[in-house]
Amino acid sequence: MKYYVKEKGSFNFRWIIVAISFINLALTYAVFHSFSVFFVALIKEFGWSHSIASGAFALFIIILSLIGPFVGIMIDRFDPKKVFLLGSFFLGTGLALCSWVHSLWQFYLFFGVFTAVGVGATGWVPSITMIQYWFKEKRGLAVGIISSGVGIGIFICIPLIQHLIDEVGWRTTYRTMAFFIPLIIITMAILFLKKPPKTMAPNPVEKEIIRTTMRDPLVVDKEWASQSWTIGQAITKRQFWLLSFSVFSSFFIIQSILTHQVAFFVEQGLEALFASYIVGIVGIVSIGGKILWGALSDKMGREVIYSIGNILLIGGIALLVAFSIFPSPYLPYFYGVFFGLGYSVSVALYPLITADFFEGHAYGSIFGTIQLLSGLGAASGAWFAGFLYDQMGSYIPFFISIMPCAVFACLSLWWAAPRKIRVVPGKRG
């Protein structure tokens, strides 16, 4: 069993890990969310249907999710630097090959497989797993900070990518991304990444961990919290599946909107570049949202904050419906604020809730498995939104149908009840 400890002098370095993870997520999720602007350009050039084109992104998310558990295991067991270097190779190769696409199968392979492997090995799962090992206190703040990097990627990079597409074309834009993004990630990995401090824990140390857990004032269910969880044990628990269903439902909603929002606004008569600025607003609002939700959840509880965020998420979707009926120039801006705050709560909280339930040496593999299920939800949402659009000629029926999913996601989390395992520091008795 691995036992991670804070070594002398590691306090300052762990904030360097936060900074690196923040930048990595900004870059890798710029690739992820740039599909929404490439989507419009590819449909225009090749004449693909919405469902066929979004199917490539659905494959991307599925591959990204499938490798999540394996990336988590690799981070658990090996030097994170090697994982990031390998991922950067796949990322650069995939993006470069995307610039040579002339047929649908090529785009499915180059973006849906190669690029997905690269994003998976340099993005969310390895970054969150490293934070889990480097942080015990202020974990909510640390996760909120690094996850806000995704928002930076959306806010800065998506309008920039759209501008490049308009100026030099989507092929040259892919080549530019293929050079600069892996180069930055590789440089940071070589210069700064190192293994979290750890020692092998013999039985006497393991017993001391259990005794420490028994004295922890945040622990409610001491028997549960003292276990050394493995993925095999976790999947036998009702809480694992309730959390997974909540995550699946949330990302079904989130990714369907993030994938199709530019296409929706273009359909409503907005310019693609202006629509990309609305996406940028979603990103910049989510930056503050992720930090805010992570910090507030440490004070008020995960379930309460998650519910507040989902109310805002539903409000954002309702504003899209309203815009199709009353095309006020102000509604897209309000949508950007509401949806940016609403979607960011899921991104910020579910890594923390996973740790509330299954903290320990196998966190990477457990979190990677939940990431797999979140990815299946995201892929399903991205594809189904395009499919329903092709059948009905409008996004509105889909938007209306997904609002109840946010309610079910909240109910599942309340039933899972992380508060019954560990209370957050703000609720300490």
For 58-106, the pLDDT digits (tens) are 899 889 888 888 887 787 777 788 889 999 999 999 999 999 999 999 9
Mean pLDDT of 29-58: 86
Tell me if 155 sits within 8 A of 284, measured CB to CB.
yes
Question: What CA–CA distance (Å, rounded) separates 228 from 63?
Answer: 29
Which pLDDT band, with edges at 50, 70 and 90, does 110 fall under?
Answer: very high
Asked if the model's pLDDT at residue 204 lies above 60, the reply is no
pTM (2 d.p.): 0.73
Mean pLDDT of 283-289: 84
Comparison of pLDDT for 218 and 413, the residue scoring more: 413
Q: Write down the pLDDT at residue 210.
A: 47
Tell me if 240 sits within 8 A of 38, measured CB to CB.
no
Q: Write down the pLDDT at residue 57.
A: 85
Q: Cβ neighbours of residue 329 under 8 Å, at least 6 residues apart? A: none
pLDDT in tens, 230-271: 888 889 999 999 999 999 999 999 989 988 888 899 888 888
Comparison of pLDDT for 164 and 227, the residue scoring more: 164
Count of CB atoms within 10 A of residue 102's CB?
A: 8
CA dist list (Å): 296 to 185, 352, 388: 31, 12, 37
Mean pLDDT of 408-420: 93
Count of CB atoms within 10 A of residue 408's CB?
A: 15
Asked if the model's pLDDT at residue 176 lies above 50, the reply is yes
Which helix H or strand E contains 302, and what residues bound it?
Answer: helix 302-325
Distance of CA 139 to the CA centre of its chain: 17
Q: Write down the pLDDT at residue 115.
A: 97
Asked if the model's pLDDT at residue 415 lies above 60, the reply is yes
Asked if the model's pLDDT at residue 358 lies above 90, the reply is no
Q: Write down the pLDDT at residue 329.
A: 87
Q: Cβ neighbours of residue 138 under 8 Å, at least 6 residues apart? A: none
Distance of CA 177 to the CA centre of its chain: 20
Comparison of pLDDT for 134 and 239, the residue scoring more: 239
Based on the number of CB atoms within 10 Å of its own CB, is 185 exposed (0-12), middle (13-18) or buried (19 or more)?
Answer: buried
CA dist list (Å): 300 to 220, 296, 427: 16, 6, 7
Mean pLDDT of 153-159: 81
Mean pLDDT of 371-382: 85
Place of tokens 């490439």: 38
Mean pLDDT of 378-390: 87
- What are the backbone angles phi and psi of residue 199, rounded to the nearest 5°? -140, 160
Q: Take residue 318 and report the two structure tokens written for it.
A: 């309702």
Percent of the chain beyond pLDDT 90?
37
Q: Write down the pLDDT at residue 7.
A: 42
Name 219's bridge partners: 422
Answer whether CATH 1.10.260.40 is correct for domain 2-427.
no
Tell me if 142 sits within 8 A of 16, measured CB to CB.
no
Distance of CA 161 to the CA centre of its chain: 20
Calculated CA dihedral for residues 118, 293, 218, 200, nearest 10 degrees: 20
Asked if the model's pLDDT at residue 383 lies above 80, the reply is yes
Q: Write down the pLDDT at residue 3.
A: 37
Q: Write down the pLDDT at residue 428.
A: 63
Q: Write down the pLDDT at residue 230.
A: 85
Average pLDDT of the chain to the nearest whole number: 84
Asked if the model's pLDDT at residue 186 lies above 50, the reply is yes
For residue 219, the 8-state DSSP code is B
Q: Give the type of residue at 323.
A: F
Q: Write down the pLDDT at residue 4.
A: 40
pLDDT in tens, 290-324: 888 888 888 888 999 999 999 999 999 999 999 99
Q: Any idea where the domains of the chain sit in the sequence?
A: 2-427
Asked if the model's pLDDT at residue 201 lies above 60, the reply is no
Mean pLDDT of 277-297: 85
Q: Cβ neighbours of residue 281 under 8 Å, at least 6 residues apart? A: 155, 333, 336, 337, 340
Comparison of pLDDT for 121 and 375, the residue scoring more: 121
Question: What CA–CA distance (Å, rounded) separates 112 from 57?
Answer: 6
- Which of 282, 298, 238, 391 has the alpha carbon at shortest distance from 33? 282
Q: Take residue 117 and report the two structure tokens written for it.
A: 């492997």
Based on the number of CB atoms within 10 Å of its own CB, is 169 exposed (0-12), middle (13-18) or buried (19 or more)?
Answer: middle
Question: What CA–CA distance (Å, rounded) separates 269 from 280?
Answer: 18
